[in-house]
Amino acid sequence: MTASDEAKTLAEVVDEITGAGDGEGDISVAEILQSVGQRSFGPMLLVPGLIVLSPISGIPGVPTLGGIVVLLIAGQLLIGRQCFWVPQMIQRRAISRKRMKQAGRFLMAVARVVDKVVKPRLSFLVQAPFNYVIAATCVLIAVSMPPLEAIPFANVVTAAAISAFGLALVAYDGVLALIAFALTGVSFYFLFTGLLF
């Protein structure tokens, strides 16, 4: 995928995720990442965020896997990589195409609403050096996702934060980035209250 045909809306990213692969059999992580482009930080963040936000997150281990992918992607941005690398072990993991299509219908309904309100504004908040602040925040969120899997629905908030950061980067929407920071605070509240009580 080149810069010219890079996804610019949430609906486009959802369409690329659900249409990944050759149309038959399960959809692998490698096929999903290839469909969104491994040079684009925003869409690469959106992939695990949206998957954990969807009904697929009910599968045990999916939020933890999503956290690992987010950690890898955000960590690589922090060290200055231009093309994001994901281990073959993770790339080979696959999701049922039927489940992905079902999740896609749910996410597309959300995307149509979200795309109406997301637009370029306060764009400096999603460009350097602030994109590194976003990446560091995503690393912290990713680390919190495995323990939060023990708290029912807690990772919905972390996934919403990751998705909001990813979409903010795709759409150059600094206001959405600020909302994502607020969601991050809520997710850490769940983490600490869950660990303490």
Q: Is 155 helix (H, G, I), strand (E, B) or coil?
A: helix
Compute the half-sphere exposure of residue 111: CA atoms within 13 Å on the CB side of its CA: 24
Rounded CA-CA distance 81/52 in Å is 25
Q: What is the pLDDT of residues 106-129, one digit of tens each?
A: 999 999 999 999 999 999 999 989
The arithmetic mean of pLDDT across residues 16-33, rounded, is 84
Rounded CA-CA distance 47/32 in Å is 8
Q: Find tokens 């504004």 and name the residue.
A: 121
Residues ≥6 apart with Cβ < 8 Å to 57:
51, 63, 66, 155, 156, 159
Q: What is the pTM of this model?
A: 0.86
For position 29, what pLDDT does the model report? 87
Q: What is the pLDDT of residues 55-102, one digit of tens each?
A: 887 788 889 999 999 999 999 988 888 778 888 998 898 888 888 888
Own/partner long-range contacts of 6-9 (Cβ < 8 Å, ≥24 apart): 6/37, 6/40, 6/43, 7/36, 7/40, 7/43, 7/170, 8/170, 8/171, 9/111, 9/115, 9/118, 9/170, 9/171
